[in-house]
Amino acid sequence: MESLSSIFENMLVADPTISPEEMNTDAVIHDTGKKQDAMAKLTETAKNLGEKDVEVLVSPISSYWYLEDNTQRANHQLSDRIMEKLLSVVIVNEADGDSKISPIRKEMQKHRPAFSMSIMNTNSTQLAQKASPMFEGMDAIIMCMTWHNPFFTSAILLLGTHAILKPVLFLSFPALLVLVRFMFPSYLKLYPSDNTFVDGKFLERNPFPHPGKPLGTYESPKPAPMYSKEYLMNFTDMQNHIIPYIRLHDAVIEWGKHYFLFEDEKLSTLVFLTLVFIIAFNTCILPFFIPMILRIVPLKAMEMVALWTVFICCHPKIQNKLLDTLDTEEARLARLDMTDRLEKYLMSYIHDDAAEDFFCETEVYEIHRYNTKLKTWVPLGYTREMYSLNHPDRIHELGVEDDSTESSFDADTTIDEIVPDIPIVPSISKVRPPVGWKFVEGGWKIDLKPHKWVNDNCIMDLVCIDDDEKWVYDVLKHEGSSSVFRRRRWYRYSYRTALKKPAMNSVSSSQQDS
């Protein structure tokens, strides 16, 4: 309730960069002079502000995305302000919500308008007014394939068959569509035929247009008026044509997750190998066989058979018989049994290795520094750096330090004060595993084989090893230097978990494959 009250308290706050005329949601600037004056005021306001504010006022979004004259008006609607406040409360911040959105969509969204009630209302209204040709074309295709008019469907099949036999005819179809769909009807509106003697029985229409002067006038196509029958019918078609996409999406997901998303690893592996083989075959081998295939296989005959088969199967009577035969429970179980047997037979050739947990070894080094005043070793903390003599900071220290001069050092000094660039933690219990990993039970252990990690890091000539306590000491060529360190290696195993965002201000140790 507090969030909602704050919304309604702030939704009517005036924007200083918006004039009262622009706040009027019913006012649309149609006059060119007023529009130029409004843009001049906006530019003058932007000049008075800083460069940072100018970037906010001058939108990088193109005017192509706005159907209204005033492109700035869409962002200042009162309904948009209310909706923006409500969405900020209603929308839940999901942990992996951003990861599900494609980076391409995120980048493209920056160059397009944000969600706006006014823009949505304008675009959807004009789409419903002008969507009649699209839905008419879709309905014509559906009626043709379902044999609503058998003569028309037969004519389309004969035309398609002729085009398959002579493919160059496909290039004439766009021009033919323009003639039949637009030019012939427009011409007949100007020169309508005389239907006085048409009896409707033997002669349904007069095939000859008017030979004299045009009887009509040119009329530009107009969108459907709002709240007319055509307007509401377009909205109804928009509502109903969403269903095939939803059902197709659900069917593809239900079928695809079984084969492509590793629901069954062996089956998905088989599909992966099949797809790789198809790519390699089509790229390297198929080009050599295409000339022979074209000479042997009658492709045109196969295309004609496929075309007629698809249209015949779409006939209502045949379609009902096919559905009654294929959509029964017995048929479904038979198909499922056949596919299961085929999958098991093919998967029997894939070796099934038992999946084992993958562990990595996380290491840290315990660093001590020798205090020449106290004659003792002082612990500095735990870090992923060995801080040996070949470390860049140690090389710099040895280069600038005089042998007879001791640097200021006491028991409270830590390594991050000596070398700020090295991440350090005071206790080994504060060391965190790598991002996306989790420590196994058992705790940290001291590496009892220091010779191995010394040899692996190639620092044999820079250190000496205490085999009893497993400490690795610096070997300084310049005696009397105060910068003497020792270190020993701690390790712990971790295993992979679900990926998460890296925690802020956390020290993650390095990982090595065990």
Cβ contact 220:182 at 8 Å: no
| Same structural domain, 117 and 245 | yes
DSSP letters, 356-422, are: ---EEEEEEEEEEEEETTTTEEEEEEEES----TTSHHHHHHHHH--TT-PPP--TT--HHHH-TTS
pLDDT of res. 7: 47
Of the residues 229, 245, 273, which one is the last residue of a structural domain?
A: 273
Residue 41 falls within a domain, yes or no? Answer: no
Question: 476: left (phi > 0), else alpha (psi -120 to 50), else beta?
Answer: beta
Residue 32 falls within a domain, yes or no? Answer: no
Tens digits of residue pLDDT in 391-447: 777 776 655 554 444 444 455 555 555 555 677 888 888 898 888 888 988 889 999
Residue 59 falls within a domain, yes or no? Answer: no
Residues in the chain with pLDDT values less than 70: 1-60, 68-80, 92-99, 200, 352-356, 396-421, 477-482, 498-514
Tens digits of residue pLDDT in 294-346: 888 888 999 999 999 999 999 999 988 888 888 888 888 888 889 889 888 88
CB atoms within 10 A of CB 380: 23
429 secondary structure, DSSP code: G
Residue 294 falls within a domain, yes or no? Answer: no
| Same structural domain, 368 and 249 | no
Cβ contact 218:182 at 8 Å: no
pLDDT of res. 434: 84
Q: State which H helix or E strand residue 130 sits in.
A: helix 117-130
| Same structural domain, 117 and 264 | yes
From CA 396, how far away is CA 376, in angstroms rounded? 25
Residue 323 falls within a domain, yes or no? Answer: no
Q: State which H helix or E strand residue 438 sits in.
A: strand 437-439
Of the residues 273, 290, 317, which one is the last residue of a structural domain?
A: 273
Cα atoms found within 13 Å of the Cα of residue 288, Cβ hemisphere only: 5
Cβ contact 355:269 at 8 Å: no
314 secondary structure, DSSP code: T
Its domain, for residue 374, covers 359-399+419-495
Residue 114 falls within a domain, yes or no? Answer: yes
pLDDT of res. 262: 85
Residue 502 falls within a domain, yes or no? Answer: no
| Same structural domain, 263 and 395 | no
| Same structural domain, 369 and 489 | yes
Residue 315 falls within a domain, yes or no? Answer: no
| Same structural domain, 233 and 365 | no
| Same structural domain, 255 and 383 | no
Write out the two tokens for 312: 């015949």
- Counted domains in the chain: 2
| Same structural domain, 267 and 380 | no
Of the residues 246, 273, 300, which one is the last residue of a structural domain?
A: 273
Cβ contact 344:458 at 8 Å: no
| Strands 485-496 vs 437-439: parallel, antiparallel or unpaired | antiparallel
| Same structural domain, 115 and 260 | yes
Q: Residue with structure tokens 């823009």? A: 119
Cβ contact 472:454 at 8 Å: yes
| Same structural domain, 266 and 371 | no
CA 144-145-147 angle, to 5 degrees, is 65
| Strands 445-446 vs 437-439: parallel, antiparallel or unpaired | unpaired
pLDDT of res. 142: 92
CB atoms within 10 A of CB 360: 18
Cβ contact 359:493 at 8 Å: yes
What pTM was computed for the model? 0.60
